[in-house]
Amino acid sequence: MAACVTACGLPEGDYFGRLDGRVDPAHFRWCNQAEPDHLDPARASSTASTPLVSALFAGLTTYGPDGSPVPSLATRWEIDDDLRTFTFHLRGDARWTSGRAVTAYDVAYSALRVAHPLTGSPSADGLAPIKGAAGYLARAVFVLRRDVPPYRAGEIVERVAGEPAHGAEAVAAVAAVAAEPAPDLALRTASRELALRDLGAPELAAYARVPAGRPVTLVLTTGGRATPPSPRTPSGDGPWAYVFAGAPAGAEGAPAGAGAGGVYGWVPAAELDGEPNADATVRVRRVTAKHTPGRAGPAAELLADEQAPRPIVLARGRDLAHSPDALGVRVPDAQTIVFECADPTPYFLSLTANRALRTAPIEAVSRRPTGWTDPAHIATSGPLHLAAWRARDRIELVRSPTYWAPGEVRFARMTVYPMDDQAAATAFYRTGGCDAGATNTIPATYLPALSGELRGRPYKDYRVDPYLSIYFLWIQTEKLSNRHLRRALALAIDRAAVPRFTHGGELPTSQLTPGAPIASLSDADLAACGVSRDHPGYALVMEPGALCYVPPPGLGYDPAAAARELAEARRDPSWREPLEYRYNAGAEAHKLIAEYLQASWGKIGLRVELVAQEWNSLLEDTRTGNYQIARLGGAGTVADTESEFLPLFRCGSPDNRGRYCSPEFERLMDEARALRDRRARNLVLRRAEAVMLEDAPVIPIYVYTQKHLIRPYVRDYAINLVDQPALWRVWLDPDWRR
């Protein structure tokens, strides 16, 4: 195939892409790697979505040319010495395309939406360091609405399972409900029809109505730590409630005006006069000081509180509120937001640029929770605005009329072509269809010609760069629960052979955390890593010359050990063959790798069938656990394994597609999180990663490189380690030949 590529008429000049047309500086055309799964910051999960989300929605920070965070909505910030409290001060000239000012309440709402269980956001991991975020997502932390001795109203408590409460009556009550699922204490009803509207709007302005008696979910209440103050209205100044009504459109009792995804809206809180689970019983105890918003202190004091008695008591549903006041998010005023982390979080600033903290407009989300990003309904806060989205054809973005720095956007229009077929994307670029392509949208068989391997010199519009990303195989551990089988799968693969047929300069590895080859590091980085140049493998340089993480080696190629593990696995009476391996179609390298894996596993006597899927179908199947083995990967936006790579394997992670859960891995991750010294953290994290890799819920294959085709007239296309180019800063130079 590679020889045919050359023989079939590749360009003979310096550039692979055609350059005989006029450069239009007002129109940037970009080939994306696939159709975005979502443009909603809370729901997007793929690398095909992230660059567009970053262009459409502002965050507290955004990605600078080198991928590090730079000011965006926040113009300045303070970080407390204990690395637990982060205060951001917002600019005053940020506007939604609707014309409304972007405030700290928008940032807080967006974060709370990602953290709320109703949203089901795959980005919730990005908020995990925040006090209470994990418990809030699991409906396991509450604010006491009234005294439950020895605890007082306003204290934060957590649900406790499997431990006895105090008193004979409590024990009997616990026994009666122990086998029942936790009740939803946020359910409310009203004895009159609810008119859902914007905060403070009159009833006549309602955009949806909920029939009397129909349950809704209470999400927010005004006047909280991170919610707006209660509005002044002609009917009174009491608190308002933000609720969700979720019956499908057209169903009996569905809210009038609601779409298929339900509807959110504000109502005066006093109208919610019914509480279906008011009498439900829940075992609770206070959360520790370090997890309590507003509580701080020396490490010794926090540790002492961890060890202090916390009586378990029985509370009723009416005593508890599933409230964002249990989270470490606070809005002192409309231009300031404060985040409190339970443990030292040295990488938190970098997290403020990623999807989890990109703003979303409450008015648009409320009316259409699953459809608000349609061009007819969307409101954006970033440098670009969505003008059109024709599925499987193109996405049209335009310069935002309300962005505070219009000079940053030098083109008027950007057309995004979703090209999940690499051969089609490369042909489209070559013939002049797009000005640049997203990372790794080039077929493997083109790479020898592009790199100069076949023709003696590379094309000048082809680039290869380092990438903080790992190609790996997820294993669904609930379906393939036999540890010996998973280890056999990992040990049977000779990863060193893969780059010989993918031709992209990939770095074969059995390590999970990506990095640079240790042999290529500077002397200063070697010293920071604590290794010599002949040490095998890769290392993640977190701060050049100062801080480094050296991952454990993982399960390397050992066919004899693989055969032994497979023999042990076949002792399991539930053993079934063949297994199934899924990958996304349209990418030539994925098909080549799938066939290589199938042959490798066949050499130890294991039969595996291959299934090619459309990209978003593969994402959905892995999200729901509908697979056995699947090709995916991890791309980091922060040079820290603790921020985005290892959290994928925590028991409660919403993006734990392998359903892996290890008490020892959890213990070590918690131990590392409590340490302020980053070198000490890294040592514990390395032990945690080793535990996980020995269990083989994931099989690393190689560290990616970034391969791009970019025309010579495209300026300021900032390729960086985390593959977060600020696409809106690109400009097209008509006079590039000069």
Cβ(61)–Cβ(67) below 8 Å:
no
CA pair distance 512, 553, nearest whole angstrom: 8
State how far the alpha carbon of 721 is from the alpha carbons of 65, 69, 283, 409, 450, in Å: 10, 13, 47, 23, 21
Residue in the structure block whose two tokens are 């959890």: 666
| Domain-located, residue 204 | yes
Per-residue tokens: 492: 């049977």
* The length of the chain, given as a count of residues: 738
Long-range contacts of 453-461 (CB under 8 A, 24+ apart): 453/503, 454/2, 454/3, 454/6, 455/6, 455/10, 459/11, 459/14, 459/15, 459/16, 460/14, 460/15, 460/712, 461/15, 461/16, 461/17, 461/709, 461/710, 461/711, 461/712
| Domain-located, residue 564 | yes
Provide the H-helix boundaries in 13-163. Answer: 50-56, 104-115, 133-137
**Which one-letter DSSP state was computed for residue 608?**
E
CA pair distance 220, 147, nearest whole angstrom: 21
Tell me the residue type at 615: W
CA pair distance 546, 530, nearest whole angstrom: 11
Q: How many domains does the chain have?
A: 2
104-129 as b/e: b if 16+ CB within 10 A: bbbbbbbbbbbbbbebebbbbbbbbb
CA pair distance 484, 570, nearest whole angstrom: 9
294-311 as b/e: b if 16+ CB within 10 A: ebeeeeeebeebeeeebe
CA pair distance 466, 460, nearest whole angstrom: 18
| Domain-located, residue 19 | no
CA pair distance 255, 209, nearest whole angstrom: 5
Longest dimension (CA), the chain: 88
Per-residue tokens: 374: 């349609």
pLDDT value, residue 252: 52
| Domain-located, residue 424 | no
584: left (phi over 0), alpha (psi -120 to 50) or beta: beta
Q: Is the peptide bond before 369 cis (omega within 30 degrees of 0)?
A: no
pLDDT value, residue 592: 94
Q: Beta strands of 457-598 (E only): which ranges?
A: 462-475, 507-508, 516-517, 538-543, 547-549, 579-584
CA pair distance 418, 665, nearest whole angstrom: 38
CA pair distance 544, 55, nearest whole angstrom: 29
Neighbours of 333 (CB within 10 A): 11
Which among 4, 66, 85, 30 has a CA at the least distance from the CA of 419? Answer: 30
Q: Is the peptide bond before 499 cis (omega within 30 degrees of 0)?
A: no
| Domain-located, residue 336 | no
The domain that holds 660 is classified in CATH as 3.10.105.10
Specify the pairing of strand 629-635 against strand 579-584. parallel
Residue in the structure block whose two tokens are 């040592």: 683
Q: Give residue 214's domain range.
A: 187-271
| Domain-located, residue 221 | yes
Environment class of residue 26 by beta-carbon count within 10 Å: exposed (0-12), middle (13-18) or buried (19+)?
exposed
pLDDT value, residue 340: 97
Q: What are phi and psi of 43, to 5 degrees?
A: -115, -15
CA pair distance 9, 252, nearest whole angstrom: 63
Kindly tell me the sign of the dihedral angle through the C-alpha atoms of 155, 160, 164, 167: positive
**pLDDT mean by block of 10 residues, the chain; 738 residues:** 50 91 95 95 92 97 93 98 95 97 98 95 91 94 97 96 45 37 90 97 96 96 97 85 77 62 95 96 95 85 86 96 97 98 93 94 96 97 98 96 96 96 94 95 91 90 93 97 97 96 91 94 94 94 92 96 96 92 92 96 97 93 95 90 92 90 95 90 96 97 95 96 94 94
CA pair distance 602, 592, nearest whole angstrom: 15
| pLDDT tens digit sequence for 78-115 | 999 989 999 999 999 999 999 999 999 999 999 999 99
| Domain-located, residue 498 | yes
DSSP 3-state of 390: strand
Q: Beta strands of 211-335 (E only): which ranges?
A: 216-221, 240-245, 263-268, 281-286, 313-316, 320-321, 329-333
State how far the alpha carbon of 456 is from the alpha carbons of 4, 448, 520, 709, in Å: 16, 10, 25, 18
490: left (phi over 0), alpha (psi -120 to 50) or beta: alpha
Cβ(360)–Cβ(115) below 8 Å:
no
Cβ(65)–Cβ(728) below 8 Å:
no
Cβ(287)–Cβ(141) below 8 Å:
yes
CA pair distance 526, 538, nearest whole angstrom: 11
The last residue of one of the domains, among 213, 244, 271, is 271
The last residue of one of the domains, among 223, 255, 271, is 271
Strand order in 579-584's β-sheet?
A: 507-508, 698-709, 462-475, 629-635, 579-584, 608-613
CA pair distance 549, 286, nearest whole angstrom: 36
| Domain-located, residue 664 | yes
Name the packing angle between helices 663-673 and 678-695 (round to 10°).
170
Neighbours of 524 (CB within 10 A): 13
Provide the H-helix boundaries in 555-705. Answer: 559-569, 588-603, 615-624, 641-644, 663-673, 678-695
Q: What are phi and psi of 367, to 5 degrees?
A: -75, -35
State how far the alpha carbon of 9 is from the alpha carbons of 194, 434, 472, in Å: 68, 20, 35
Contacting residues for 597 by C-beta, under 8 A, at least 6 apart: 473, 493, 581, 608
The strand pairing partners of 30, in sequence order, are: 416, 436
pTM of this prediction exceeds 0.85 = yes
Q: What are phi and psi of 730, to 5 degrees?
A: -65, 145
Which among 432, 340, 374 has a CA at the least distance from the CA of 108? Answer: 340
Which among 402, 558, 442, 448 has a CA at the least distance from the CA of 1? Answer: 448
Half-sphere exposure of 206 (CA within 13 A, CB side): 17
